[in-house]
Structure 1
Amino acid sequence: MGASQSAPTTQEHVISPEPSTSVQFSPSLISRLSNPPSDTSSNIPEDVVRRRLAAESAHIRQQEAEILHSISAALEKENLDREKPGMSSEVLGRDIEEVREKVERMKKEKAAREGEGVRSARESVRRCYLDNIDHPLDCQRQVDAFKEEVRKLELAFVKSLQ
């Protein structure tokens, strides 16, 4: 029983390649393996896809530009409708210039009405403060003179209104 199992009954066959054997493939097999079959319905070349994407992108950009143009035109029309007549930038510029001229005239009139006494009293107070930066209380006499000149001017103004 045990003797039959330990004795080899069959020979093992080992296949070893012969060093002198060369393998040759036909040119048609090599070309089929190097160029896989292309099924045009399922495998689209990259350049076709790129062209389609570029065309679609250009179309979308054109639609976007048209939409932006229409929105801009609508907003401009709406702003023009809201704008009051005569409220253009030219009219506003002229109005601003008129206000500036009025302010300048008022300054000149104020200076003319002020009188020489008030101007000299104001200048006296200013000089005193600049000369006595550390001791501004030394300028009390000039400040009182200025107040008196202003009081006289106010009384003259009130009398002119009566």
Structure 2
Amino acid sequence: FSPALISRLSSPHEPVAPSSNTDDIVRRRLAAESAHLRSQEAEILHSISAALEKENLDREKPGMSSQVLGRDIEEIREKVERMKEKKNNESEGVKLARQSVEQCYLANEDKPLDCWKQVEAFKTEVAKLEQAFVKSLQ
């Protein structure tokens, strides 16, 4: 007999069943698929948490806080008050000129043409007010 055959027969190895080889292949494939699914799950969880974090940051933007909105409202109120005061101060001359025109018309009901000086003064005051308004817009 050949020495290879004798050593093979004398070795204590048990014959390998073909089913155990198949089982190993299936186990390896299952482990690989399981690892792949775990990595996909981790990626999905990461993307979901990133999206939620971005959404929370968008909600917490400084432009949306109640304190900032309160300050903006207060600034707008102050601007409105300043505009009212400015309007009242600027139109004081117009008010006086209008009152003088009204008084002149009431005093000269039968001769309204005598009030041309007061009308010209009123027109001048209105023109000044218009010019000031246009300058404030520039």
TM-score range, shorter chain: 0.3 to 0.5
Larger helix percent: 2
Which structure's CA Rg is the greater one? 1
**TM-score (normalizing by structure 2):** 0.37
